[in-house]
């Protein structure tokens, strides 16, 4: 079975620092708006940056998704266990009827 590699972040700081960094930049944009306007920074770009920050803040943490992954794995294991018993029963019945070395039993896989 292949083990999944943990995801690697494209930035080297915590998730809680990123919104703080964006807030600091937004505050500086308000303070120095005239200088940024000269460099073609618009109010729409500021609004877009604020929306991106809010979207990032609304994203659930990695632990949430790890928990969901664990729940789905448990569900998959339970479904496998429920399916294994009937399949084994069929194999035992085929073994009893045809014998282990017969072609009919081999057809069951």
Q: pLDDT digit string (tens) for 72-92? A: 999 999 999 999 999 889 888
Residue 1 has a pLDDT of 55
Does residue 104 contact residue 98 with C-beta atoms inside 8 Å?
yes
Report CA 58 to chain centroid distance, whole Å. Answer: 15
Cα gap 12→86, rounded to integer Å = 51
The torsion angle over the Cα atoms of residues 86, 90, 93 and 99, rounded to 10 degrees, is: -140
Cα gap 86→80, rounded to integer Å = 11
Residue with more model confidence, 77 or 11: 77
Q: Does the reported pTM lie above 0.75? A: no
Task: Give 2's pLDDT tier (boundaries 50, 70, 90).
Answer: low
Mean pLDDT over 17-21 rounds to 92
């Amino acid at each position: 079975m292949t083990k999944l590699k943990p995801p690697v972040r494209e930035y080297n700081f915590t998730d809680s620092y990123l919104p703080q960094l964006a807030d600091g930049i937004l505050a500086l944009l308000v303070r120095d708006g005239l200088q940024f306007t000269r460099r073609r920074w618009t109010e729409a770009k500021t609004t877009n940056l604020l929306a991106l920050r809010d979207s990032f803040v609304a994203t659930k943490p990695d632990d949430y998704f790890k928990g969901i992954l664990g729940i789905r794995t448990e569900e998959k294991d339970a479904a496998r266990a429920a399916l294994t018993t009937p399949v084994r029963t069929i194999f035992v019945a085929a073994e009893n009827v045809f014998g282990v070395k017969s072609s009919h039993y081999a057809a069951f896989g």
